[in-house]
């Protein structure tokens, strides 16, 4: 039993979670962990991670969005979630099209939500799924 992007999307603690890319079958996308990343991104992204970002610097250079999306997809991230300070951080349609082409779901949440709270929620949900799985194995 795995924690999936469908679990996150359906039961998220952030009611204003907004999907920017096309919806796909999120039940097939496992979330194994979550991490914080900004530009420049490094190779610390693990496969199936939910990447959290404030999009620092993307207001100055909109191409950074596409770079972040490509990098996250290259490292097989589960999804990318941005919290955007204001409208100057609007994600260009070209970056969303890139994410769709690469199959990387991209979400935004309002600035007032803390990414650390989202991170803690995701980690807790992953641990709870693991505990349920262990209990099932012990009961059989």
Could you tell me the residue range of the domain that residue 10 belongs to?
Answer: 5-139
Which of 3, 9, 69 is CA-nearest to residue 31? 3
Q: CATH number for the domain including 100?
A: 3.40.1390.20
CA angle 52, 54, 60 (to 5 degrees): 135
- For residue 77 the two structure tokens come to 């991230």
Tens digit of pLDDT for each residue in 107-127?
999 999 999 999 999 999 999
Note the pLDDT of residue 13.
Answer: 75
27 pLDDT higher than 80: yes
Find the length of the chain: 140
Note the pLDDT of residue 10.
Answer: 87
- For residue 16 the two structure tokens come to 């204003």
Domains in the chain: how many in total? 1
Question: Beta strands of the chain (E only): which ranges?
Answer: 18-19, 33-36, 49-53, 79-84, 106-110
């Amino acid at each position: 039993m795995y924690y999936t992007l469908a679990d996150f999307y359906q039961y998220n603690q952030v009611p204003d979670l907004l999907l920017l890319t096309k919806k796909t079958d999120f039940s097939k996308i496992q979330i194994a962990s979550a991490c914080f990343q900004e530009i420049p991104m490094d190779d610390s992204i693990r496969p199936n991670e939910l990447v959290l970002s404030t999009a620092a610097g993307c207001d100055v250079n909109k191409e950074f969005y596409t770079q972040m999306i490509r990098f996250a997809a290259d490292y097989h991230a589960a999804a990318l979630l941005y919290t955007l300070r204001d409208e100057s951080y609007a994600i260009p349609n070209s970056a969303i099209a890139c994410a769709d082409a690469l199959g990387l779901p991209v979400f935004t949440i309002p600035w007032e939500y803390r990414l650390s709270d989202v991170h803690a929620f995701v980690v807790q949900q992953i641990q709870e799924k693991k505990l349920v799985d262990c209990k099932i194995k012990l009961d059989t």
